[in-house]
Amino acid sequence: MKKFIALLLTLLLALSAAAPALAEKQTYRSLYSGEVTTLNYLTTTTTSEFGLLSNLIDTLVESDRYGQLQPCLAESWEASADGLTWTFRLRQGVQWVDAQGNAVAEVTAHDFVTAAEYILNAQHASGSAKTLYKIIVGAKEYYDGTATPKEGEQPAPKTEWDTVGVKALNDYTLQYTLKNPVAYFLSMVDNQAFMPVYGPFLAEKGEQFGLATGNDTLLYCGAYTLTEFKPQETRVLTKNSAYWDLEHVTIDQIVYRYNKEASTISADLYLKGEVDSASISAEIASQWLDDPVKSEYIRPDRPTSCYSYFFSFNYAPQFAAEYEPENWAKAVVNENFRKSFYYGLDRLKVKTAADADNAEALLFNSITPTDFLIINGEDYVKTGALKAITELGVGTYQTDKAIEYRDKAIEELTAAGVTFPIKVFMPYNASVNGWADECQIIEQQLEELLGKDYIDIIIEAYPSSGFLGSTRRSGNYAFMKCNWGPDYDDPETFSEPFAVGNNYNFIDKCEGMDEVRTELYSLFDQATAIYDDLTARYAAFAQAEAFIVDHAIVIPYGFSTGGYTASRIDPFTLPYTATGISKERFKGAVLLDQPMSTDQYYDAYDQWLSDLEALTANP
């Protein structure tokens, strides 16, 4: 223990010596352009909403700035010898508080049971339900028993809650019983599905719980409380004075101001000192880097494997008649048509819109990102059936193959009654830097290669607020850049955008993809059923993922990071993890007196890597 403490002190001193001076006043100011649609953390799974909610409600465990899981609401835990029962001993004295910081009740094991029961009630339509019912004993049966049957179907038998493997053994002991051993279970509990809720407050609020109308629809047990919430105006997060780990909450207040033009004006406001972070487009970054003064205000975005981006085809289009959804529906089920996009899309050229200097390093050919999962010292995406796909690199762009598949598609689609050019409706979020440029490159590049008599790509800007609801989730697109963030440390997490009930590509609702869908779901089922041999499990998921790519069900793209950012936050003080919601938290984050420059960033990054190596070598 003494050796460990001495090591930590050495690491902290080394980091502080390399970093710029800290700001005296720890108030972080930023702009936002997209409003949340709910504060109900028991139902939502939207990243933008958990950027807020993860700071207000704690989880059982959390990741630190080195990506190591640490105790949070749970002080300790243990698994049974067979891996089926996990017991968490909760931290005593943690308080639920209201928006003014007034104590309401203590957080207990019963609050986790209440939350799980709410999530597993199908009437609440929680996006977290599957996370629980696919692994916990009795959860799927309970969920099915609460669901409204489809027309013509018999309702599933109702089961009692006490048959579900989520129990409060006493006020401070929580137990989960799993269907099968889950090697990655601990990484799952840093997830919204394992957040608590205070039962009496939930009952009191009823349908008003978590409404995005004010800060009084929630209670708080996280590092911050939402002291001010005025939709499309302002959000203020204030350090929770009753927080159990107050000494590690270094930013006193986080102030967000709404502006629908945030991505456009934030850079200027940053230079004026009115905000502490700004969106930096590739064009602005290029200008600033050429300026000896402004170049000191920006640094590279930190590398991360949190989110995977891919271009998705919509197999159940619900867009406006003017974009000919019925014609698109006939075309998209044709594999040659999809492969003409797969081989015709110059992803490297598209990625330059985000980072002209480092575009190739940000691309990958799989759905699972590189460096997400290491197997016996080897990257998962470089194993099994994914190996050949990964080794293609930027070689997926092959114009001769694109033309070959186009010609085959034209012949087959003409026989199927498809009319040309096929309209390709492609919406984008107007508030996201670089997205408009990406769409314009795609339109110009694909139409030039494949021919305007073959496809007519139609791009349309949508506002940030409610963007996903008005586009992807409602099927209002034909071809669109989408992303997925992993929930736990296993490749199964990247199968979710293709699962039954998904609101990504709707392949489960497509009438013309029966054979492909059946084989894909069979591959997923085979992989999921393997839980006692991780090597075999990973190989099976690699085969399923390779099937997705080989049949061009989607087109992999790459990392979300790239380019430069302007921020007074030291990125190496933030929680760092590929999975869970800790990555959205400000706990531990430190504001610098001056922005970190590129040189300082790389010095700090090297120090962070060195510190991480020392920590993992001396656990």
CA dist., res. 355 & res. 282, Å (int): 6
Q: How far is CA 519 from CA 316, 367, 525, in A?
A: 19, 18, 10
Question: Helices 335-344 and 399-415: crossing angle, nearest 10°?
Answer: 160
| pLDDT tens-digit series, residues 144-166 | 999 999 888 899 999 999 999 99
CA dist., res. 332 & res. 183, Å (int): 38
Q: Average pLDDT for residues 418-433, to the nearest whole number?
A: 94
**3-state DSSP assignment of residue 426:** strand
- Max mean pLDDT among 179-183, 355-359, 433-437 falls in 179-183
Q: Does 581 have pLDDT greater than 70?
A: yes
Q: Does 84 have pLDDT greater than 90?
A: yes
Q: Does 20 have pLDDT greater than 60?
A: no
pLDDT at 319: 96
If pLDDT is split at 50, 70 and 90, which confidence band does 434 have? Answer: confident
CA dist., res. 223 & res. 206, Å (int): 25
pLDDT at 3: 36
Q: Average pLDDT for residues 91-102, to the nearest whole number?
A: 97
Report yes or no: 85 and 177 within 8 Å, Cβ to Cβ: yes
- Amino acid at site 20: P
CA dist., res. 366 & res. 390, Å (int): 7
What is the SS3 string spanning 89-152? EECCCCEEECCCCCEEEECCHHHHHHHHHHHCCHHHCCCCHHHHHCCECCHHHHHHHHCCCCCC
Q: Which of 9-13, 171-175, 369-373, 404-408 has the lowest mean pLDDT?
A: 9-13
If pLDDT is split at 50, 70 and 90, which confidence band does 173 have? Answer: very high
- Amino acid at site 4: F
- Sole residue written with tokens 């309702």: 155
- Sole residue written with tokens 């087959």: 412
Q: And the tokens for 274?
A: 């009115």
pLDDT at 11: 38
Q: Which residues pair with 308 in a beta bridge?
A: 484, 559
pLDDT > 70 in the chain, percent: 95
Q: Which of 172-176, 314-318, 417-421, 530-534 has the lowest mean pLDDT?
A: 530-534
Report yes or no: 348 and 562 within 8 Å, Cβ to Cβ: no
Report yes or no: 31 and 275 within 8 Å, Cβ to Cβ: yes
Average pLDDT, the chain: 91
**3-state DSSP assignment of residue 159:** coil
Q: And the tokens for 388?
A: 């050949």
If pLDDT is split at 50, 70 and 90, which confidence band does 304 have? Answer: low
**3-state DSSP assignment of residue 593:** coil
Q: What are phi and psi of 378, to 5 degrees?
A: -125, 140
Report yes or no: 557 and 311 within 8 Å, Cβ to Cβ: yes
Q: Is the peptide bond before 575 cis (omega within 30 degrees of 0)?
A: no
**3-state DSSP assignment of residue 374:** strand
Can you say whether residue 80 is alpha, beta or left, with left for phi > 0 and alpha for psi between -120 and 50 degrees?
beta
- DSSP string for 547-586: HHHHTTSEEEEEES--SEEEESB-GGGS---SSSSGGG--
- Amino acid at site 141: E
Q: Average pLDDT for residues 37-50, to the nearest whole number?
A: 92
pLDDT at 465: 83
- Cα 211 to chain center, whole Å? 22
Please enumerate, as own/partner, the contacts of 383-386 that have beta carbons within 8 Å and a separation of 24 or more: 383/538, 383/539, 383/542, 384/538, 384/539, 384/542, 384/543, 384/546, 385/539, 385/542, 385/543, 385/545, 385/546, 385/547, 386/542, 386/545, 386/546
| pLDDT tens-digit series, residues 465-502 | 889 999 999 999 999 999 998 888 899 999 999 998 89
- Max mean pLDDT among 35-39, 324-328, 562-566 falls in 324-328
pLDDT at 359: 85
CA dist., res. 365 & res. 388, Å (int): 10
If pLDDT is split at 50, 70 and 90, which confidence band does 358 have? Answer: confident
If pLDDT is split at 50, 70 and 90, which confidence band does 22 have? Answer: low
Q: How far is CA 232 from CA 36, 432, 468, in A?
A: 9, 17, 17
| pLDDT tens-digit series, residues 3-19 | 333 333 333 334 343 44
| pLDDT tens-digit series, residues 200-245 | 999 999 999 999 999 999 999 999 999 999 999 999 999 999 999 9
Q: Which residues pair with 253 in a beta bridge?
A: 27, 238
Give the full edge-to-edge strand order of the sheet including 74-79.
74-79, 85-90, 173-177, 166-170
Q: Which residues pair with 31 in a beta bridge?
A: 257
Pairing of strands 173-177, 224-230: unpaired
Q: Does 24 have pLDDT greater than 80?
A: no
pLDDT at 152: 86
